[in-house]
């Protein structure tokens, strides 16, 4: 069964550094998403990506964040200058529409 | 904007007892509802979904949820829980034209022997 994969599983970085979180969505999916979950809190929407552009973003997704689909298979989330409060589990998801979204296993980002 | 309320942050229950995890959503014309499960240190797995049709939906591991439009609820139930059902359960609703999910705060189900 196809699945969404994410790398790395855990990333430790220092405050102010840039990080890139990588995702490989399911191949025939058209909608791509990033969510995050701060420890002990609920899952929050960050951004959706459709037709090679951002379709919607939340208030969390400020100028420090960017997304790319550089080669038709990978889907990346970049944080330019990490802050302590960016520490969270980041989930990538993909889907074909409203029917459901498939989530990856997540990347735990720790900013020290 | 759509929102989801999960009324219980934690639900402790004994093995083989029934359980209900409550979820209420803000009303909208079209509603698509989901329950996801997150086992410790793992990602989100889809448990079941309501898109249309029968208001009672079931999962392969014995959970069921009923869409109740008049009460704007989508409660999750299981008649007899197992230790292995211990996990965090998230209710979610689709919002907007690009289908982003809005999640509730989650309910931690703790099944005790």
The predicted-structure confidence for A45-63, as pLDDT tens digits, reads as follows 999 999 889 999 999 999 9
The predicted-structure confidence for A11-31, as pLDDT tens digits, reads as follows 999 999 999 999 999 998 999
pLDDT for residue A40: 84
Rounded percentage of chain B residues whose pLDDT exceeds 70: 99
Decide: A101 and A93 in contact? Cβ < 8 Å.
Answer: yes
pLDDT for residue A103: 94
Q: How far apart are CA A102 and CA B3, in angstroms?
A: 21
Backbone angles phi, psi at A81, to 5 degrees: -140, 95
Backbone angles phi, psi at A103, to 5 degrees: -100, 145
Contact criterion met (CB < 8 Å) for B94 and A98: yes
Q: Once rounded to an integer, what is the mean pLDDT over residues B94-103?
A: 88
pLDDT for residue B108: 96
What's the whole-number average pLDDT of chain B?
92
The predicted-structure confidence for B10-39, as pLDDT tens digits, reads as follows 999 999 999 999 999 987 777 899 999 999
Contact criterion met (CB < 8 Å) for A103 and B101: no
The partner residue sitting opposite A48, judged by closest CB among B45, B49, B100, is B100
Distance, CA of B75 to chain centre: 6
Chain A residues in contact with B51 (beta carbon < 8 A): 98-99
The partner residue sitting opposite A31, judged by closest CB among B32, B36, B99, is B99
Is the pLDDT confidence value at B113 over 90? Answer: yes
The partner residue sitting opposite A100, judged by closest CB among B43, B46, B106, is B46
Contact criterion met (CB < 8 Å) for B45 and A103: yes
Q: How confident is the model at residue B98 (pLDDT cuts 50, 70, 90)?
A: confident
Q: How far apart are CA A49 and CA A14, in angstroms?
A: 28
pLDDT for residue B74: 96
What's the whole-number average pLDDT of chain A?
93
The predicted-structure confidence for B50-82, as pLDDT tens digits, reads as follows 998 888 999 988 999 999 999 999 999 999 999
Contact criterion met (CB < 8 Å) for B100 and A45: yes
The predicted-structure confidence for A75-111, as pLDDT tens digits, reads as follows 999 999 999 999 999 999 999 887 789 999 999 999 9
pLDDT for residue B13: 97
Decide: B6 and B106 in contact? Cβ < 8 Å.
Answer: yes
Number of A–B residue contacts, CB under 8 Å = 58
Contact criterion met (CB < 8 Å) for B36 and A103: yes
**How many Å lie between the alpha carbon of B98 and the closest alpha carbon of chain A?**
7
Contact criterion met (CB < 8 Å) for A55 and B98: yes
The partner residue sitting opposite B100, judged by closest CB among A56, A99, A104, is A56
pLDDT for residue A99: 77
pLDDT for residue A100: 83
């Amino acid at each position: 069964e196809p699945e969404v994969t994410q790398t790395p599983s855990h990333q430790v970085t220092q405050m102010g550094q840039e990080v890139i979180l990588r995702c490989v969505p399911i191949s025939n999916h058209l909608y791509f998403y990033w969510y995050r979950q701060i420890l002990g809190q609920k899952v929050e929407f960050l951004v959706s990506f459709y037709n090679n552009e951002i379709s919607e973003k939340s208030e969390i997704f400020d100028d420090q964040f960017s997304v790319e689909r550089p080669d038709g298979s990978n889907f990346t989330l970049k944080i330019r200058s990490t802050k302590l409060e960016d520490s969270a589990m980041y989930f990538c998801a993909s889907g074909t529409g409203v029917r459901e979204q498939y989530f990856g296993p997540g990347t735990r980002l720790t900013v020290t | 904007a759509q929102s989801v309320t999960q009324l219980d942050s934690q639900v402790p229950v004994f093995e083989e007892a029934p359980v209900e995890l409550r979820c209420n959503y803000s009303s909208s014309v079209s509603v698509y509802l989901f329950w996801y499960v997150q086992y410790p240190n793992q990602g989100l797995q889809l448990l079941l979904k309501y898109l249309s049709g029968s208001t009672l939906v079931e999962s392969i591991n014995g959970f069921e949820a009923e869409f109740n439009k008049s009460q704007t609820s989508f409660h999750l139930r299981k008649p007899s829980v197992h230790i292995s059902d211990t996990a965090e359960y998230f209710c979610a609703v689709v919002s907007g034209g690009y289908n982003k999910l809005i999640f509730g705060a989650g309910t931690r189900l703790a099944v005790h022997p």
